[in-house]
Amino acid sequence: MRWLGPPGRTRLRLPRQRRSTAATAAGGAAPLLLLQVPILLQIPILLQIPILLQIPVLLQVPILLLPLLVLATAADPAASAAAAPASVNIVAFGNERDGFSEDNQQPSLIWSYLGRSALISQIDSSLSASHVGNPVFTEYQACIFGNVRLVVHDCPVWDILDSDWYTSCRLIGGADIIVIKYSVNDKTSFQELKDSYVPMVKKALNHCSVPVIISAIGARKNGVSCTCPLCTSDRKSCVTTSEGVQLAKELRATYLELHTLDDFYIQKYFGGVLEYFIIQSLNQKSSEKMKKRKKMQKCHRVQPPQLEQPEKMPILKGEASHYNADLHNLLYCCQCADVAFYPEDLSTAVEAHKIILCSVSHLFMLLFRVKSPSDTHDASIVQLAQSLFEVEVGDPFPSSPRGVPPCVPPVRVVVKDSVFCSCLPDILHFIYSGAFQWERLEEDIRKKLKDPDKTEYVLEKVKCILKTPGKLNTIKDCNSHQIKRLYNTSLRLFFNTPVLADVIFKIQGSTVPAHRAVLVARCKVMAAMFNGNYLEANSILVPVYGVSKDTFLSFLEYLYTDSCCPASILQAMSLLICAEMYQVMRLQHICELYIITQLQSMPSRELSSTSLSIVSLLKKAKFHNSDCLSTWLLHFIATNYLIFSQKPEFQELSVEERNFVEMHRWPSNLYLKQLADYRNYIHSQKCHCTVM
């Protein structure tokens, strides 16, 4: 007798030798089953054997222990069934009797189990039919594990799948366990089962994980091994073990071989396997019922209030930099020009600014005596400066630069090279635009000269002018994608230094040197101040009021470099006030963005303990026309209402501001009321006994 199963199923194997029930009762040793238990089974736990996840455990358990293990494993399902009675539906197909059997009155497998199992009680049977003319099946109802209802539909003939497919699908779909029976001595019926009805069963199952037990019943009549032609012919009429195992693999079923339907095979063998799957079905139903109960309890339970998201904060849009455009416009308006380039015949003049030229070229630093020849360390630059330009400082010319105070003498520069002088406006345009549009400069000079040799000559001179001392310039070094912007780094060299300075600010008892050309190009208020009918237009010393020295230095640093890095929120607010005073809007937006970023990154604990007054920042932002920042600060106070409402500064808000904060506060009053009610409900539920 054998019990085999495909991978993933329980497999039992019994020795082939037969033992009568009488011999076993007389004191013979009970046969051993080779029990291969997957990790999902609870048997290894009961035997106190360590469990290794996803590794099957191979046990040798006496067959007489199987009912005890089944009863022990059934303790939990019985307890759950006592609380809520459950039911298990079993559908059995097939006939265990062969067509040539002399004992056609022997009881069926299902009836034998129900009548002999010690766990079954209150058995009732009835004959039923799905429709008139269809094969009749037997319905058994019994109780197992005390009060668990067991419903069995035993269909001895497979024709029901052909005659009434709807009823067959309904039976298989509602089954918890399926039992397929056949006789090992009826090869014809087995072949029909394998070819015709197994595909129909698989289709009805539709990939459902319903356990299937295949029972091969009977002792093969040609059990003695023989090689004569007669026995070989007889052997073909029996169903071999390998054929049964192959069928079980196809259905992912558990395979059993029952030689006889006596107490040993029915109770200890078939009954143990069937009861194991009954227990698994009860456990699964109990788990599903518990999940459903928890879901229902969750639906009927009072839900905590949902905290809505705070309102979105206003978005501040930054302003694009117009640094290069400001300096480029300075070349066309010619404000505060302090140098003029003339040809040798003094016929025309091209005005420029020493601070801009020196910021991009060491040659102009040498030309305007910012550096001495000994500081240059490059003889080629000195030779080029002497061969191209000649600086004359003396009497003013008729077309003297405009906007320069009388105390600052103009500088006249004579360009000795006529070809280079004709291209000087284009070269200055290239320098003032940031010295990174090399392709445009090449095109402009080529159109003007219309001579490749002269064009190459002028371009080589420009490269030498922009040359870094001690380094060789090549054509590829002047490509636009490789030439970096020069102003925002080179003008920093002249920030807060007296070199080429033509104005001095007096602030808090200290002096700060600066350059009118940079101030006029970058700030409209200072452009009007130095070029209008104001006292500062003809004065070198200019007093500054209303701001600190550090704040004004940060303001000048932005004008020179187009960047600023405030050290704190208060310094950023002071710089914002200075930017509003001189109408530099982009700097004002940068300060607003810095303040917002710092406040957003501040944790709630730090925000509640900080000495920084947000209300004071709000009032300063409103006073200095920073509408974006003031609106954002109001939203920030409303979003952190529970923190700011506890601070004394909260009382300094105006009535209009207080109404805005109360309207947009987070969390809202409604949520806080719902939260208090929910806490009271939870507290009242904990005070009562959940059992009683």
pLDDT in tens, 176-235: 898 998 888 888 888 888 888 888 888 887 767 889 888 888 888 754 444 454 444 444
Residue 639, SS3 per DSSP: helix
- Rounded mean pLDDT of 382-405? 66
The Cα 556–Cα 573 span in angstroms is: 16
What pLDDT is recorded for position 521? 94
Angle between helix 424-432 and 323-333 (nearest 10): 150
Alpha-carbon distances of 363 from 330, 384, 602, rounded to whole Å: 21, 8, 50
Domains and CATH numbers, the chain: 84-125+134-221+236-286 (3.40.50.300), 334-395+407-470 (3.30.710), 594-691 (no CATH)
The Cα 427–Cα 444 span in angstroms is: 9
**Single-letter code of the amino acid located at 170:** R
Listed as own residue / partner, the contacts of 39-42 with beta carbons closer than 8 Å and 24 or more positions apart are 41/10, 41/276, 42/73
pLDDT higher than threshold 80 for residue 671: yes
pLDDT higher than threshold 80 for residue 532: no
pLDDT higher than threshold 60 for residue 607: yes
What pLDDT is recorded for position 482? 40
128 pLDDT band (50/70/90 cuts)? low
Cβ-count burial of 355 within 10 angstroms (0-12 exposed, 13-18 middle, 19+ buried)? buried
What pLDDT is recorded for position 470? 56
- Give the H/E segment covering residue 256: strand 254-258
- Rounded mean pLDDT of 10-17? 37
316 pLDDT band (50/70/90 cuts)? confident
Of 32-46, 109-123, 158-172, give the lowest mean pLDDT range.
Answer: 32-46
The Cα 684–Cα 547 span in angstroms is: 62
Of 25-29, 519-523, 546-550, give the lowest mean pLDDT range.
Answer: 25-29
Q: What is the mean pLDDT of the chain?
A: 77
What pLDDT is recorded for position 689? 45
What pLDDT is recorded for position 132? 39
Asked if the peptide bond before residue 667 counts as cis, ω within 30 degrees of 0, the response is: yes
What pLDDT is recorded for position 40? 33
Q: How far is CA 121 from the centre of its chain?
A: 58
Q: Give just the sign of the alpha carbon dihedral 661, 666, 672, 673.
A: positive
The Cα 412–Cα 564 span in angstroms is: 36
- Rounded mean pLDDT of 571-582? 96
Query: Could you report the per-residue pLDDT of 271-280, keeping only the tens digit for each?
Result: 888 888 888 8
Residue 313, SS3 per DSSP: coil
What pLDDT is recorded for position 687? 54
The Cα 237–Cα 184 span in angstroms is: 9
**Single-letter code of the amino acid located at 71:** L
497 pLDDT band (50/70/90 cuts)? very high
- Rounded mean pLDDT of 641-653? 94
What pLDDT is recorded for position 668? 92
What pLDDT is recorded for position 404? 45
Q: Which residues pair with 149 in a beta bridge?
A: 87, 143
What is the phi/psi pair of residue 180, to 5°?
-115, 125
What pLDDT is recorded for position 136? 62
Q: Which residues pair with 141 in a beta bridge?
A: 124, 151
265 pLDDT band (50/70/90 cuts)? confident
* C-alpha angle 431-434-436 in degrees, rounded to nearest 5: 95
The Cα 339–Cα 400 span in angstroms is: 9
What is the phi/psi pair of residue 30, to 5°?
-70, 140
Residue 314, SS3 per DSSP: coil
The Cα 132–Cα 222 span in angstroms is: 41
Greater model confidence, 352 or 335: 352
pLDDT higher than threshold 70 for residue 566: yes
What is the phi/psi pair of residue 392, to 5°?
-130, 125
Q: Which positions ≥6 away from 118 have C-beta within 8 Å?
A: 67, 267
What pLDDT is recorded for position 168? 78
Residue 80, SS3 per DSSP: helix
Question: Strand 120-128 and strand 137-144: pairing?
Answer: antiparallel
The Cα 28–Cα 464 span in angstroms is: 114
What pLDDT is recorded for position 17? 36
Residue 208, SS3 per DSSP: coil
pLDDT higher than threshold 90 for residue 467: no
- Rounded mean pLDDT of 450-468? 90
**CA-atom Rg of the chain in angstroms:** 50
642 pLDDT band (50/70/90 cuts)? very high
Percentage of residues in the chain having pLDDT higher than 70: 75
The Cα 10–Cα 569 span in angstroms is: 73
Q: How far is CA 376 from the centre of its chain?
A: 56
**Single-letter code of the amino acid located at 624:** H
The Cα 66–Cα 118 span in angstroms is: 13
Query: Could you report the per-residue pLDDT of 140-164, keeping only the tens digit for each?
Result: 888 888 788 888 888 888 877 777 7
What pLDDT is recorded for position 486? 45
Instruction: Give the global pTM.
Output: 0.58
The Cα 620–Cα 623 span in angstroms is: 5
Q: Are 153 and 90 in contact (CB under 8 A)?
A: yes
Greater model confidence, 340 or 11: 340
Selection from 346, 489, 475, 471 nearest residue 418 by Cα = 346
Selection from 3, 5, 269, 241 nearest residue 112 by Cα = 269
The Cα 495–Cα 558 span in angstroms is: 10
Token pair 């298990």 is at which residue? Answer: 88
Greater model confidence, 624 or 165: 624
Of 314-323, 474-483, 522-531, 538-547, give the lowest mean pLDDT range.
Answer: 474-483
- Rounded mean pLDDT of 19-25? 34
Query: Could you report the per-residue pLDDT of 52-110, keeping only the tens digit for each?
Result: 223 233 333 333 333 333 333 334 444 443 445 688 889 888 888 765 454 555 677 88
Percentage of residues in the chain having pLDDT higher than 90: 35
650 pLDDT band (50/70/90 cuts)? very high
The Cα 298–Cα 291 span in angstroms is: 10
Tokens representing residue 295 in the block? 């879901």
Q: Which segments of 6-74 does DSSP mark as H helices, in order?
A: 21-25, 43-46, 66-73
Going by the DSSP 8-state scheme, the letter that residue 371 receives in this structure is S
Q: Are 577 and 624 in contact (CB under 8 A)?
A: yes
Token pair 């509408």 is at which residue? Answer: 627
The Cα 112–Cα 124 span in angstroms is: 13
Going by the DSSP 8-state scheme, the letter that residue 118 receives in this structure is T
Greater model confidence, 150 or 29: 150
Greater model confidence, 46 or 212: 212
Of 379-383, 570-574, 663-667, give the lowest mean pLDDT range.
Answer: 379-383
Of 82-86, 240-244, 410-414, give the lowest mean pLDDT range.
Answer: 82-86
Residue 74, SS3 per DSSP: coil
Q: Are 494 and 487 in contact (CB under 8 A)?
A: no
What pLDDT is recorded for position 141? 86
pLDDT higher than threshold 90 for residue 301: no
What pLDDT is recorded for position 23? 34
Greater model confidence, 686 or 494: 494
pLDDT higher than threshold 50 for residue 674: yes
What pLDDT is recorded for position 208? 76
Residue 483, SS3 per DSSP: coil
Residue 281, SS3 per DSSP: helix
pLDDT higher than threshold 80 for residue 342: yes
